[in-house]
Amino acid sequence: MKQIITLILLFYCINQVSSQNLNHTIINDTLNKYQSINEILQLEKFKNKVVYVDIWSTGCVHCIKEFEYAAKLKKQVRNDSIEFLYLCARHYNTRKSNVRNIKNEKLWEKLIHENNLEGTHILMSNECYVDGYRYKFENKYEGNLHWGFPMYMLVDKNGVIVNYDAPRPSQGESLLVEINKLL
């Protein structure tokens, strides 16, 4: 019995140490505090910073594949003037739209840890998710807008979204050029 308890404590300690090494903030917006992306961008940690926004879903294979490239990108732009914001679309129970999907919330946290995603992570309310699409629709952005997951935006140091259809992390050099213009 002592061996089992010792093993459990050992696994717990290892998990705590590995979690502490990851530089991230996780916010599960269960109270629908953030009704819009602009409200999120007003958080103190984003003041006077360029923000790269990644809007993704736990069920999106393409979104998860991009995480690999995001890690490489972060190594190339190590700079105190940029923040990475990951907004995950919350999936409610499809039969009862106001019932949270706890299984998806656990998967969201698991994917953050498995992919060592440094940055700020928010599991968005439905209102905030719809707001993301409103941005693209209302702003007369020229070019072919991407309307599915993943979706990326670039925010300047004044908190203004300057690119509603920013390059993906896998687009490497073109994304670096866009970020460097804002830094």
pLDDT tens digit string along 91-102? 655 555 556 778
Predicted confidence at residue 47, as pLDDT, reads 95
Percent pLDDT > 90 in the chain is 43
Taking the model in full, what pTM does it have?
Answer: 0.79
pLDDT per position as a tens digit, 78-134: 788 999 999 998 665 555 555 677 888 899 999 999 999 999 999 887 777 666 656
Tokens of residue 101, six digits: 């999907």
The CATH number, out of the four listed (3.40.710.10, 1.10.3080.10, 3.40.30.10, 3.40.50.720), of the domain defined by the range 24-182: 3.40.30.10
Q: How far apart are CA 25 and CA 53, in angstroms?
A: 14
Domain residues of the chain, as ranges? 24-182
Tokens of residue 67, six digits: 């995480």
Instruction: Give pairs for 101-106: CB < 8 Å, separation 24+.
Output: 104/58, 105/28
Residues 6+ apart with CB under 8 A from 158: none
pLDDT per position as a tens digit, 3-34: 555 445 444 444 443 344 457 788 887 777 88
Predicted confidence at residue 11, as pLDDT, reads 46
Q: Assess whether the previous peptide bond of 150 is cis (omega < 30° from 0).
A: yes
Q: Identify residue 156 by its one-letter amino acid code.
A: D
Residues 6+ apart with CB under 8 A from 146: 165
Decide: residue 113, CB within 10 A, 0-12 exposed, 13-18 middle, 19+ buried.
middle
